[in-house]
Amino acid sequence: PIAGSMVLAAVLLKLGGYGIIRMAPTNISTTLIYPMIAMATWGVIMTGLTCLRKTDLKALIAYSSVGHMGLVASATLIQTPWSTSGAVILMIAHGLTSSMLFCLANMLYERTNTRMLIAMRGMHKAMPLMTSYWLIASLTNLALPPTINLIGEIQIMTTLFNWSPLTIMMTAMGATITAIYSLQMFMTTQQGHLTKDSKETYPAQTRELLIMLLHALPILLLTLNLELIY
């Protein structure tokens, strides 16, 4: 259910990162850190490549969440103030963004009765106002400057690079792939011609616009004033 997906992405998934921050010992053995961070950063690339070939919109967003949490897991394992700060910022930013994307995907599913990307094309003509929220969610998901997603990812990438310069290759590749599939998701669902089944799509309702506003407003406020997190 969409409510479960939103709660899972926004809250429950972040409890794992919070648990690592609170429970991971500061003197953890380097023999454990190296393989775990290597798997976490490699997971960012693998989930990104999986998203590139996904045709199910909800599955695409779910795999995107896994990729972002790979960055959070690798940052929390380093156990430095800079990495922990970046992990907390990215968890809050991703909690809002991923929940917003799940809700947007469900709105399209209720109107098209399918989760296939190719069957949702041209929604800009049927729901022009929701396109702006799709754009906000897609751009924050790919960490467009000056959103808080970028601030969190930059802090994590900087920390990983200071810990091991080799990690910059995987994190940079993961960020590039994230940008590609986020833009591909936006362009596939919003541009093009409406399908025959989507021509009678009803516009966005007030409650749906309110839900989107309650997601977009915190993202905007945190982008303008990051100190609200602290």
Instruction: Tell me the pLDDT tens digit for each residue of 133-154.
Output: 999 999 999 888 888 999 999 9
CA atoms within 13 A on the CB side of 224: 6
Q: Encode pLDDT of 22-35 as tens digits.
A: 876 665 666 778 88
Find the distance separating the first CA and the last CA of the chain, reported in whole Å. 33
Neighbours of 96 (CB within 10 A): 22
Bigger pLDDT: 118 or 200? 118
pLDDT at 177 over 90: yes
Q: Which DSSP category does 83 fall into?
A: H
| Confidence category of residue 213, pLDDT binned at 50, 70, 90 | very high
Question: Is the peptide bond preceding residue 146 cis, with omega within 30 degrees of 0?
Answer: yes
